[in-house]
Each structure stands twice: as C-alpha cells, then as structure tokens.
Amino acid sequence: MLQKTPTPDHGPDFVLDLEDPAFVRDPYPTYAWLREKAPAYRWKARGDAIVFSRHKDVRALVLDRRFSNDYRMWEFARKEEWPAEHAEYKSIMDNGLFGLADADHLRVRKLVSPAFTPRAAERMRDEIQKAVDDIIAEHVKGERVDLTTITEPLPMRVVSDMLKIPENLRGEFRAFGQASIRSSVLFNKAEELFELIAPMPRWIRMLREVIAERREHLLENDLLSTLITASDEGQKLTEDEMISLVHALIVAGSDTTVHAANWALYSLLRHPDQFSLLRDDPSLIRNTIEETLRYDLFGKGGLPKFAREEMEFAGTKLRKGQMVMPFIPAALHDPEVFPEPERFDIRRDVSQTIAFSAGQHFCLGAALARQELDLVVGTLVRRFPHMRLSQEPQLQPHPIMRALTRLEVTLS
C-alpha cells in the first residue's frame, strides 16, 4: 500500500495530500514531519505555496503585515472573466472581510466588532442556552443519539437569531454558507467552481430581499438593522460590503462551530478520564474548550495569505504574490510550545493558542464560538454524565475541514 503518511526518512519530495483518508483521520504524524523535516514546505501541487507549520512561524506569519488575505494578490489568481451570472457572487467575495485589505478591512471590521466582543457574547448566554436546550429536547428521544444532530443546527440558529433571518429561509442560508466554503478553495477548476456556485444567484436574491424588507421595517436588537443603518449613513459601509458581511457571518459562523463542537465532544468521549474531570468540575469548561481546539482542530491547514512584496520570511525567500499557508493545527501540536502535544489535558496551559489566529484578521467570531461551544458541550456533559461512544465516528470528504458527520453515543 502506498505510504501516505511521511515517515522520518521521507525527504522534502513527499507530496502533501489533504484528501487522503489516513491524513483526515489522523493528520498529526504528517504535521510532525512538516514541523521537523520541512518547516517551510514547498507545495508545488498547490500553486507553489509555502506551508509553515511551527508555532513561532505560524504566529509570526499571521501577525506580519507584509502578507495580505486578499486572494487577488496571488501570483496565479484566476484571470479569466467570470460568466455574467456569477459576477455578483464574485463581487460578494471581493467585498467580504476575507477579501478586503487594509483601510477597507479595518473600516468594515470596526463597524461590526461591537456585536462580537466577549461582553456581547456573554449577553447572548441565556439565548444560546435556550437554543441548546430546545435542540436537545427535539433530538434526544431514546438511549442512543447521534450528537451531530445537536451540534449541527446550533450555530446557524445563533447567527440567524442575531440577524433575525426568517425561519423559512434558514435552511437555504445554511446551504448557501456550505456551498460558499467549498467554492472558496482557490484550486477548484473553473468547471467545478461554476458548478458549485450555480445556485448562488438564487441565494443572493433571497439575501437581497431580506435586506430590502428589513430596510422597510427596522427591528430592535438586530444586527442586520444596525448594519443597514450604518450603510444608510453614507461612507461607513457600502451596500455591497453589507451584503458581503452578512454572507461572511453565515459562512464563517456556522460550519466552523459545528465541526469544532463535534471534535470537542469526540475528544472528551475518547478520553473518559478527562470527561470525568470536567463532569466533576464544570468550572473547567472554558479551558476544556480551548484544549479541544488545540488537540484536534477541525481545519486541515489554514487560510492562505499572499506576499505583498518580494521578501524573506523565516529564512525563506518569497516572490511577490506567492501564497503562504499558516498550518494552524500543526502549530497547535508544536512540542516547543505545548509539551507532549498528543496528550489531551483539559487543565493544560493553553494561553499560547492560535486556534482563532491572531493580529488584524483574528477571528471576529471567537468569543461567540467559545460561548456556543461552552454551552453545548457543557450542557451535554451535565445532562448526560454517563454518555459513551457507541461506535467510531464517520468522516466525510471536505476540501478544507476534517468533517465529522456522525457521532453516536449511548446516554447511560
């Protein structure tokens, strides 16, 4: 059988393959090889990008202003015209927080930030707790339950409640977000990309209708109304930026937290001693969540960034426009920073975590995600203190995430 996980003897000719099922199940030997043998791994198959995997390099990279998140700066950025029916979607991507740079990025981010501070997340605690309780009541009927049925609806519900998206559109917007994540991969071939984004015009129309309707009837305590008011007040937020921002919240705010919750629960279930520790001392929940994100993060690599200029970074020469990839999950297992990284320890010092990145693009939704994870994981452990895995979970192919799709437990 072809050895897909590099052994210590592999040279830098080893070809990284994020689709390989062995990697998806357990990427940590590959990450260790990268850190030790190829800390600036040249990934020719992926646009000749350079992958950084050591904690100190990944942290320095996300903090370094000489890199941009704007994919249009990529030396191999798609130059061909997009079909006219997709011009609108392209504009959404270009105007979103993930695409904007510098002053525009700062301006949009500043506007939306107050809704995402730790204090704002704390104010949402009761509402999120109620959502968790409702979902549990709806899905737990017998002795066995697939925990992904509980984690799956929560984040979309939370972000939809913040934006007061009508109930009948939430399923559509969830699909919109999922398709957007898959289509954000820069290596999709043109035909694949256009197939993925075929339904976008319909979803974009729905989003515009929701916004037009809200403009007519602004609501209290509603993030969308706040954004509309901001865009109506002139230069603060253009219409396109507002649509892009709402889209970004739907995209970034749902799948990420679903998979984070699944892996968090799986990590606890795989380590009954740690599960018991948390059950006996619920005050450990905050640290537990941070450790689950460190120990088994759902992302396969990291969001790509692009060199704004020709430069040297961490001893590697980079071309202007060259893609670099901060492999955050690899950095979170760097023994230089996290001793015995393969040990899951909910009391570990996780202050050096970069699960949510750092610097100007630090995850906008970090406090909200932490709050959701605290409440869904904490509540499940409290309500079902004797739950245990009844079978190994299932994984599904996904371009950028290790997607755990079934997590079946017996409750007592």
What residues have CB less than 8 Å from 20, skipping those under 6 apart? 4
Distances (CA, A) of 185 to 243, 255, 259: 21, 15, 18
Which of 93, 285, 355, 375 is the binder for ligand HEM (CB under 6 A)? 355
Which of 90, 107, 109, 215 is the binder for ligand HEM (CB under 6 A)? 109
Scanning 29-37, 172-180, 218-226, 357-365 for contacts with ligand HEM by CB under 6 A, the matching segment is: 357-365
Instruction: Assess 249 for contact with ligand HEM (CB under 6 A).
Output: yes
Instruction: Assess 185 for contact with ligand HEM (CB under 6 A).
Output: no
Pull the structure tokens for residue 43: 């990934």
Nearest CA-CA partner of 397 in 47, 17, 3: 17
Which of 14, 67, 71, 356 is the binder for ligand HEM (CB under 6 A)? 356
Which of 124, 131, 135, 159 is the binder for ligand HEM (CB under 6 A)? 159
Scanning 14-22, 132-140, 168-176, 252-260 for contacts with ligand HEM by CB under 6 A, the matching segment is: 252-260
Scanning 74-82, 203-211, 270-278, 351-359 for contacts with ligand HEM by CB under 6 A, the matching segment is: 351-359
* Nearest CB to ligand HEM, comparing residues 62 and 285: 62
Which of 63, 179, 230, 363 is the binder for ligand HEM (CB under 6 A)? 363
Taking CB under 6 A as the criterion, which residues in 287-316 touch ligand HEM?
303
**Alpha helices of 222-299 — where are they, by DSSP H?**
223-232, 239-270, 272-280, 285-295
CB of 109 to ligand HEM, least distance (A): 5
| Number of Cα atoms under 13 Å in the Cβ half of residue 333 | 23
Instruction: Assess 257 for contact with ligand HEM (CB under 6 A).
Output: yes
Q: Are 300 and 402 in contact (CB under 8 A)?
A: yes
Measure CA 157 to chain center: 17
Which of 260, 330, 337, 404 is the binder for ligand HEM (CB under 6 A)? 260
Q: What is the spatial distance between Cα 227 and Cα 239, in angstroms, rounded to a whole number?
A: 10
CB of 67 to ligand HEM, least distance (A): 9
Which of 150, 156, 242, 368 is the binder for ligand HEM (CB under 6 A)? 368
CB of 355 to ligand HEM, least distance (A): 5
CB of 66 to ligand HEM, least distance (A): 14
* Nearest CB to ligand HEM, comparing residues 35 and 361: 361
Instruction: Assess 73 for contact with ligand HEM (CB under 6 A).
Output: no
Instruction: Assess 131 for contact with ligand HEM (CB under 6 A).
Output: no
Nearest CA-CA partner of 391 in 410, 405, 375, 404: 410
Buried/exposed 293-303: b ≥16 CB within 10 Å, e otherwise: bbbbbbbbbbb
Query: To which residue do tokens 């393969």 refer?
Result: 342
Q: What is the spatial distance between Cα 327 and Cα 41, in angstroms, rounded to a whole number?
A: 11
Measure CA 22 to chain center: 22
Distances (CA, A) of 179 to 199, 254, 318: 9, 12, 32
Residues found near ligand HEM in the complex (CB under 6 A):
62, 69, 97-98, 109, 159, 248-249, 252-253, 256-257, 260, 303, 328, 355-357, 361, 363-365, 368-369
